[in-house]
Amino acid sequence: MNIDTSKIVVGGGSAGGNLAAAVALMARDRGGPHICYQMLIYPALDDRADTQSMSAGTDTYVITSQNTLDMWNYYLDSDRTNVPCYAAPSRASDLSGLPPAYIMTCEQDPLRDEAIIYAMRLMETGVPVELHNYPGTVHGFDYLIPSDISKRAIRNELIMFRNAVRNNH
């Protein structure tokens, strides 16, 4: 297929952000393939759902904290005593050696804080992170209704993707 395997970027929004983070972890732990960048767009990363934004997200637009808890129960079942980090990336004890990341969060999203915490943990291990929190926005805002802020968010996502591929972190 003539793919340049030095320029693999993984990314996704919401549950797709969970899968992208898990792929980055698994590629690191299994010695490949090399991932040059990860794009985590309002990702679901932590099944424990114990952040302030999750507590405050009982009546948020698009998804609520209850929707998120339901999602985790469907995905992992209700017994979460031994959840692997490949299912809930925030459970990884070591985030070092992961590819650089672009992480986008929304102010009025129950998932906001877990993504910010994950970004901070990545930075603590020396992983370069570009973190964007969009004020006044909700989960999925960038594709819900065309607006100046949604256009800006999409433009930023595309710029970060292009830069990742060009710069080949």
Residue 152 pLDDT > 60: yes
As a whole number, the mean pLDDT across the chain is 94
Q: Given pLDDT bands bounded at 50, 70 and 90, which one contains residue 159?
A: very high
Average pLDDT over residues 5-28: 96
Q: Given pLDDT bands bounded at 50, 70 and 90, which one contains residue 168?
A: low
How many angstroms separate the Cα of 55 from the Cα of each of 45, 48, 58, 71, 111?
16, 12, 7, 16, 10
Query: Could you report the per-residue pLDDT of 32-83, keeping only the tens digit for each?
Result: 999 999 999 999 999 999 999 999 999 998 999 999 999 999 999 888 889 9
**Among all residues, which ones are annotated catalytic?**
14, 109, 139
Average pLDDT over residues 5-19: 95
Q: With DSSP H G I counted as helix, E B as strand and the rest as coil, what are the percentages for the chain, rounded to 5?
A: 45, 15, 40
Residue 1 pLDDT > 80: no
For residue 165, the model assigns a pLDDT of 87
Q: Domain 5-167: what homologous superfamily?
A: Alpha/Beta hydrolase fold, catalytic domain (3.40.50.1820)
pTM, entire model: 0.94
Instruction: Quote the CA–CA distance of 76 and 85 in Å, as a whole number.
Output: 12
For residue 79, the model assigns a pLDDT of 86
Residue, of 95 and 2, whose pLDDT is higher: 95
- Kind and range of the H or E element at 129? strand 129-134
| Domain map (residue ranges) of the chain | 5-167
Residue 108 pLDDT > 70: yes
SS3 12: strand
